[in-house]
Chains A and B, each alone.
Chain A
Amino acid sequence: QQQVKQSPQSLIVQKGGISIINCAYENTAFDYFPWYQQFPGKGPALLIAIRPDVSEKKEGRFTISFNKSAKQFSLHIMDSQPGDSATYFCAATTSGTYKYIFGTGTRLKVLA
């Protein structure tokens, strides 16, 4: 019940395309869902996060879509750029605990 399932494991997208990464969770106590970007040899960097009271949140080229009934959420990267090539992790937590459960990661490669 504590797992967060992430797919796909890897993704190749042409420059300018849309990258879509999906996550699913089971624990209905989770109410904060962040996405992190990690470059090789670096720590994860917070990209964008969402709470279940909204179905979508957009920040620049990054959008999170959230489906509370299906217990799924996804990250959309619009106009993908080679600089977006990195590993992306979704996570889930219960507010106030700061104990994140991470997905297994998606390695994104954007071709120039």
Chain B
Amino acid sequence: ETGVTQSPTHLIKTRGQQVTLRCSSQSGHNTVSWYQQALGQGPQFIFQYYREEENGRGNFPPRFSGLQFPNYSSELNVNALELDDSALYLCASSARSGGDEQYFGPGTRLTVT
């Protein structure tokens, strides 16, 4: 059984650019949630995907968008990058047929200059 994987590991972008982050969910998991973790803070919920549709969103603007694919992998897209978008972006997967456990990937460290 493979765990949650994310790519790339690190990324440096310039303000105003666009970025795409990728996540492969744990085997058998059909729900993917994305979180933003600023330095020294707890993760903050961005949005969740289930059955290829957005299933809830946190307090993030529309320039944060995502996709889920039939194999349950997911993408997070951020347009018009701002300096405050610099953070660790975490993907977490869960199996709706199981309990409430959520398993996190190693994250993508995004730096916006």
Contact = CB atoms under 8 A, between A and B. Distances in A.
A and B associate in one complex = yes
Interface of A: 6, 32, 34, 36, 41-46, 49, 89, 91, 93, 95-105
B1 interface: no
Given A43-B105, A44-B90, A45-B104, A100 B45 contact: yes
A67 B90 CA distance: 30
Contact of A98 (B6, B33, B58, B90): B33
A93 B100 contact: yes
Interface residues of B, number: 27
A36 to B, nearest CB: 8
Contacts of B58: 99
**Which of the listed residues A43, A44, A93, A104 has the most CB atoms from chain B within 10 Å of its own CB?**
A43
A34 B103 CA distance: 11
Q: Which 6 pairs of residues, A with B, have the shortest CB-CB distance?
A: A102-B42, A43-B104, A32-B100, A43-B106, A98-B94, A44-B104
25 contacts: A34-B100, A34-B102, A36-B104, A41-B106, A43-B4, A43-B90, A43-B104, A44-B90, A44-B104, A45-B104, A46-B103, A89-B42, A89-B43, A93-B100, A96-B96, A96-B100, A98-B48, A98-B100, A99-B58, A100-B35, A100-B45, A102-B42, A102-B43, A104-B41, A105-B42
B107 interface: yes
B45 A95 contact: no
